[in-house]
A and B are shown apart, each in its own frame.
Chain A
């Protein structure tokens, strides 16, 4: 009998084979394909399929999900036209589209649309978020056209980098800090051609929300994608949020891993990613006091209830430093409502924050912009110069807790001192 890790198990199942091994090239049948509205991609797929390939109907519309979560609120007529085209196309194809509910990468986990053991493809790399519950998400850019048209995509079975966890995070330290620590330790290409698989007794102390952040940012260490084994935390989350009764997926005892590393969560310190690249990890303590102008809590990498909960704890009864602008964007409608019920939204508004309905647009300079010389601290997915307006502005990436603490001080601040 072959002993397989989670990635090999999922790929074997999606290929109809007994077993697969790292390095093998084969065709897999993804369980779900996800897209969102984006110029040059979502409209490109539609054009290629209809005009170049002459296909009137896609063969498996039931396996495709479309999210209208970018270009919101609409600021130009062309955005409205793109959304309108998407709606018309989805209806004609019999494809389900979801609009006004939240950010797709996050919502598919929250709503149980993706389950442990599923193989999912998107054009966007941050679909790796689905790894939080033990699914395998691949961002394959324009190649998504292949599974859309044929139902299959090719894959070279990646190796697996096992990250084993023990202990529990200090109060104020989050999954984001662990991922940034991995960047510091492994570097930009530390996980190339490999999937990061998180497991171990410490995993139970990492919330699904933190797991989503960690898996979302797998590309920071060059990983193909990332996932957590599924445990009681996974099953409880899916049951409570989505009414889904899922089955756990884990690596077999004796499964092979290309690398193994252990972290005691207790030792993880708040860690930032500094300009100008996502590989520049620095312990927060070395940058305390750096003046900051803008804070963002949201995007597909954050904006979940646990993120808003810790930010609200830090901001409760306090005011954001004069001149500092804090944007808080819950990642789904349901999270927005829940945060409102728990009083977090009240806390943010009283502290002086700007609150928005769910949208991806705070992540890429559409909904807010920096001027030369300004600095932002954000939970977003990228810090390349120009991502938030001016190429002469700086973007520091951090956990929701670190952003909230920095909003209070108007400078980079350690959240542990604010809790």
Chain B
């Protein structure tokens, strides 16, 4: 029987689920405004029950995503100051970029062009780190501008009104960047590229097989073998229900995301 190793904890998987749910909700209730001239936007906004209802759900999902963000910050804070895990700030277990990521990137490009072997990735690849930080700063920027717009009456006491012009622009542009990036680049890098197609279930099961780990992240498995941390991550194969759960939920998420991306693309091309 193949050995499996934990990659994501249950908490991290739930967090990703919350993130994905609120993100889809925000895109679905926000993009109709940005692409108001498209027929689907009119249809969707009326189908959802009007712009007030749409606004209500947009704010609800925003609160959910804010909760997600704060929980994550709390978790990072706890691991940093509570459990003294200095490793999350620097090193192979950290999401902070380090020189190896740039080397990996160059090597990866060479591999794309057939000019060298595939780089030996560790726990987090450079594109995964980019995903993380893009989402992190995206949430800060979209969230801040969103709250400024939401509570414009309060913010107008301390900020000049033209800030709302800027906030709306940034909110929309950054949202387009986030949606476009997640629904194409992230989906491809993680799920849709030929090696993973149609879906990498690790974000639902939390586990990867030994063969997959060795092929994808040889540096991590070698490091863990030599450090002796590998056995603590060892687990059973994910049960069938869990894989099916992941397939259904993941398939649905990717499908909705691609649909939204297609609609946005349609509106952009027609504009």
Co-complex (A, B):
no
Chain A residues within 8 Å of B, Cβ to Cβ: none
